[in-house]
Structure 1
Amino acid sequence: MASLNSAFPFPVPRPADPADEVVREFGPLLRIYKSGRVERPLVAPPVGPGHDAATGVHSRDVDLGACSVRLYLPQAAVAADGAGKLPVVVYVHGGGFVAESAASPGYHLFLNRLAAAGPALGVSVDYRLAPEHPLPAGYDDCLAALKWALSAADPWVAAHGDLGRVFVAGDSAGANICHHLAMHPDVRGHAAATADGTAPGRAPLKGAVLIHPWFWGSEAVGEEPRDPAFRAMGAGLWFFACPGTSDMDDPRMNPMAPGAPGLGALACERVMVCAAEGDFLRWRGRAYAEAVAAARGGALEDAGGGVELLETMGEGHVFYLFKPDCDKAKEMLAKMVAFITAP
């Protein structure tokens, strides 16, 4: 910061404040200062809920205590007045566990469009972020939000949500959390009830959509670089966000690690994985899709076990948030809608 002195009509530099020294930095996502100040340079100012004129979707925020959710109700549900219930999509935003929110402009735009295109009832989770709230806080918040949605405690969910068609969806770190949710014993033990209150024993989640999932591991898969230094660098933000982790083969970061819970336990009928050609996580997403299909006794090429893989050529990590109007973003949204609305 500079000051002005009447004798010297030009800025006079002040001595540098040692507290403004940057001590940790993770690209454009997060910057930590010596004073303890946390800066998230990439995050745009939040936008509020309300009526979206472009899609006709209504949204509102619900406080759940430690976290909150933003609900999205399409015009189709309002017009039907509860006559036909909609699939419920519990969406978990990305941002490396340290950035973004349900109120970030890119996510708000995407959820409005997803809710309208489905149509579907959206439940976008605003979970606590590291480093202020290290993991597992984010995992815990998203589990609480999913259980809240499954309870139909909110009037929008009760009136318009089909609890036999609940999906979890998320991108990057959010996709990682979605895997965690689908593997959690509390979710696996939640039986979806029929209209007469009986439990049919089917999977509590109709499906999971993992967009450019952030998984990693000590051993490379596919065409990932095998250099140990690169692998350690790829896990740096994970160690920072989850200081209690064992290593990069922690099952929360590497669901295919030796000793990790079997992927056959995923509490969902169908799985869709999205990957992008220019994303360094591309091979990890493909390997995960292949592993889930194999755990279900099928092959990915044959849509084994209800597993689909969408690979977008010529694009990078979470491109649909940065270029929401490009043709490939529209294609990805259409494929996601088809997955959610399939019988």
Structure 2
Amino acid sequence: MDTKISTLSDEVAHDYSPYLKIYKDGRVERIAGIDSVPPSLDPRTGVESKDVVISPEKDVSARIFIPKTTTTSTVQKLPLLVYFHGGAFCIETPFSRSYHNFLNELVAEANVVAVSVHYRRAPEHPLPIAYEDSWESIKWAVSHFEGKGPEEWLNSNVDYNKVFFGGDSAGANIAHHMALRVSSEGLGGPKIVGLALIHPYFWGSEPIGSEETRVERRVMAEAIWRFACPTTSGSDDPLINPAKDPNLGKLSGDRVLVCVAEKDGLKDRGWYYQELLEKSGWRGTVEVDEIKEEDHVFHMLKPTCDNALLLIKKVASFINQA
């Protein structure tokens, strides 16, 4: 009779399906966000993309997107959007089909240049590594301020008085912290105008709003955070809970857009973020836009639905607001 002897390599230590599994031998198996597509000239939107290496030693890179207008005009400089992808700090990349397509659509609609950042991910590279990689990527992008950087697309096409940070879920969390870091460390000449945060991943030990009855989602949100950031003090760490950050009122940028979804377990944190900013002494304006009947990052799962297109138009309008 044949018998199968279990080995350490196939024993699961942590099962976060349908996203990833961690085996007892330390191996990480990512289930979601593992597909990738090459940079291209998108025939539908006219958006062109290319990949660049920011730090070969750290495996930090980015995909840059430029809209069709850059090929027809040599005069107009465009806003820059530095974008951070979601995926619980653990999965997805700028090169996955969903993020590539999303940036194509957003860049075309907003008529901006975008740098979509590839930061190192947990658990192999636990937080705060993703924050450090993201900061290095921002510094690289704005190093083109005087037109003398290594990437001609950024030298020629960007108005560095109109820089925006954006992201979804964990990426929105990163964008928030990058804007805080600008306030303390500065970027020289470039001006951070605003933040576009889509379904931001913020949390806290005290439940608010609908979190009271969503026990399973609370458990998941807290588990993901501790998994991605094993050195954290918990759900009231300022990295995940803006209410506990004494520097919140120093956030860089004059405008913030927070997009939330009605069925998202993180929705109330988005609304609470608005309240916190308004009470912090921050002098900018913050707007929350809620889309009904949708859940967390629905625009990645249903990219062609009416509400996904509505979200893209909302972010584009925010960037182009006078």
Question: What is the TM-score normalised by the length of structure 2?
Answer: 0.92
Contact 1:127 1:138 in 2 (8 A): yes
Q: Does 1:317 align with 2:310?
A: no
Q: In the alignment, which of 91, 110, 116 is matched to residue 99 of structure 1?
A: 91
Are the equivalent residues in 2 in contact too, given 1:97–1:129 (CA < 8 A)? Answer: yes
1:276 equivalent to 2:261? Answer yes
- SS of the residue corresponding to residue 102 of structure 1 reads coil
Q: CA offsets per residue over residues 142-197 of structure 1, 9 Å max, x none? A: 1111111112122111100110110000000000001110111566522435xxxx
Q: Please state whether the residue corresponding to 1:310 is helix, strand or coil.
A: strand
| 1:131 maps to which of 111, 123, 126 | 123
1:26 maps to which of 5, 16, 19? 16
**1:70–1:18 Cα change, 3 Å:** same
Contact kept? 2:210, 2:268, Cα under 8 Å: yes
Q: Which amino acid aligns with 2:290?
A: E
Residue pairs, 1:200-211, within 5 angstroms: 204-211=191-198
3-state DSSP of counterpart to 1:225: helix
- Work out whether 1:35 is the aligned partner of 2:35: no
Contact 1:272–1:310 (CA under 8 A) maintained in structure 2: yes
Aligned 8 A contact 1:220 1:226 in 2: no
**Partner AA of 1:315 in structure 2:** E
Secondary structure in structure 2 of the residue aligned to 1:94: coil
* Counterpart in the other structure of 1:200: none
The one-character-per-residue Cα deviations of 1:44-83 (angstroms, maximum 9, x if unpaired) are: 41111121111111111110112001000111112112x1
Count of matched residue positions in the alignment of Structure 1 and Structure 2: 314
Matched ranges for 1:35-114 at <5 A = 35-65=25-55, 66=58, 67-81=60-74, 83-114=75-106
Contact 2:17 2:31 in 1 (8 A): no
Equivalent in the alignment of 2:321: 342
2:205 equivalent to 1:218: yes
Q: In the superposition, relative to structure 1, how do residues 233 and 205 fare at CA in structure 2: closer, same or farther (>3 Å)?
A: same
Compared CA separation, residues 34 and 113, structure 1 to 2 (3 A): same
Rounded Cα–Cα distance in structure 1 between residues aligned with 2:312 and 2:282: 28
Distance 1:62 1:225, change over 3 A: same
Shift in Å at residue 231 of structure 1? 4.2
- Number of the residue aligned with 2:137: 145
TM-score by length of 1: 0.87
The residue type paired with residue 158 of structure 2 is G
Kept after mapping to 2: 8 A contact 1:93/1:125: yes
Distance 2:320 2:216 in 1: 43
Matching of residue 243 in structure 1 with residue 230 in structure 2: yes
Cα-to-partner distance string for 1:231-270 (whole Å, 9 max, x where unaligned): 454211111111111111110000112xx12322110110
Match of 1:331 among 306, 310, 318: 310
Pair 1:120-2:112 in alignment: yes
Q: Which runs of 4+ in 1 moved over 4 A?
A: 185-188, 226-233
**Contact kept? 1:110, 1:321, Cα under 8 Å:** yes
Runs of at least 5 residues in structure 2 that lack an aligned partner in the other structure: none
Structure 2 residue aligned with 1:167, among 137, 151, 164? Answer: 164
Secondary structure, in 3 states, of the residue corresponding to 2:42? coil
CA distance in 2, matches of 1:145, 1:315: 32
